[in-house]
Amino acid sequence: MTQKIIISEQERSTDISLELLFSGPLALLDPRHPAVNENLQKQILYSRYHQKLIADGLETGHFFYNENNQLVFQTKLPIHSFAGFIFEAYAVNIFNENIRTIGKSAFSWCTNRSQCKDDYIDQFKVIGTGFITTKSQYPNFYSPQNRFDLIFIRKNSSKNVDEPATVLGTTNTAGIQIKAITGSEEIEIIEPIRSGKYSHVLTFLRHADGVHSYNRCMEAINSMYRKGSLQLSEKYQIESRISHPEMFGIDQRNVDDYYNYVLHWFNGHAKPDQFIQEGVGLEVKGYKYSNGLLVPNN
């Protein structure tokens, strides 16, 4: 695989005229504002999401430090697959950081619980089954080919072991598959749920026309039902197993902005035969990766 050093001095530069007009952090500006041009939008997104992309990429194993202590990127994945890994890390972080709200909603959904008390959900944390930290901290749950991208686990104090959350009334592990696609929903989401490959799918992205992948799923399911390829009970079951970010209280605009930055970064830095040499990851030297964040070594 090609290795690419991922930080660009050109990408970090800030337009002088913008500095004169706005003295606060660029991350405070709205990248979707009609007065924001493409160059400024990229700078705002960089300010908001660049270190998060690095942290998420370190967790998924796509970014790492080479023997010269340079931060490099390595993948042969297409953009939708790469984005899928990044949004796995995004989902794990946002569920854990908001375990009593967003996390609890996701937990109740994938475990088929109609309600969940705070003292119960507080026992759990979310992990990615293919993550670097899972491999080191929870090796029993490390399974990159798992049917779940993320699961909820808690400590069983009587047995002194970590155990996964289960679907209510069963011993089946509960979990969520993450999708970052903008097409092929019937193949990528609906049929795998129908066949039992996936249990619950959280799909993150909108299509280029602004219609969310979730809505495309619902359209496809309704079409299949009208054609007679789905019974009504199966239609309802599949629909109940597909979700979108705002179902749990995640602002879709934040998802869109992060994805726009991932696209911008990937298109500029993940060309198959390009070796980027503009920088050496200076802004993350002296930092380490810990629980989804970049934190100082000291």
What are the phi and psi torsion angles at 100 (to 5°)? Answer: -85, -10
* Through-space distance between the first and last CA atoms of the chain, rounded to whole angstroms: 33
The pLDDT, as a whole number, for residue 1 is 44
DSSP assignments along the chain, one per residue:
--EEE---HHHH---HHHHHH--S-GGGS-TT-TT--HHHHHHHHHHHHHHHHHHHHHHHTSEEE-TTS-EEEE----HHHHHHHHHHHHHHHHHHHTTTTHHHHHHHHHHT-S---HHHHTTEEEEETT-HHHHHH-GGG--TT-S-SEEEEEEETTTTEEEE-B-TTSSPBPEEEEE--SS-HIIIIIHHHHHTS-S-EEE--B-TTS-BHHHHHHHHHHHHHHTTSS-HHHHHHHHHTEE-GGGTT--HHHHHHHHHHHHHHHHHH--TT----S---GGGTTEEEETTEEEE--
- Give the CA-trace dihedral at 49, 54, 57, 61, to 10 degrees: -170
Taking the CA atoms of 257, 260, 264 and 269 in sequence, report the sign of the dihedral they define. Answer: positive
The per-residue pLDDT for 53 is: 79
Give Cα 298 to chain centroid, integer Å: 28
pLDDT of residue 3: 46
Using CA atoms, how far apart are residues 285 and 296, in angstroms rounded to an integer?
9
- pLDDT, residue 290, reads 52
* Confidence (pLDDT) at 16: 40
181 touches 221 (CB < 8 A)? no
- Whole-number pLDDT of residue 78: 82
Please give the pLDDT value at position 25.
Answer: 64
CA 258 and chain centroid, separation: 10
Its pTM stands at 0.78
Rounded CA gap, 282 and 7, in Å? 8
Give the pLDDT confidence score for residue 11 in this predicted structure: 44
pLDDT tens for the chain, residues 1 to 298: 444 444 444 444 444 444 445 555 655 566 666 666 667 666 777 777 777 777 777 777 777 777 777 667 767 778 888 888 889 999 999 999 999 999 999 999 999 998 889 999 999 999 999 988 898 889 999 988 888 999 999 998 888 899 999 999 999 999 999 999 999 999 999 999 999 999 999 999 999 999 999 999 999 999 999 999 999 999 999 999 999 999 999 999 999 989 988 888 887 764 433 333 222 233 343 444 454 444 444 4
What's the rounded Cα separation, in Å, for the pair 6 and 70?
9
The pLDDT value given to residue 59: 78
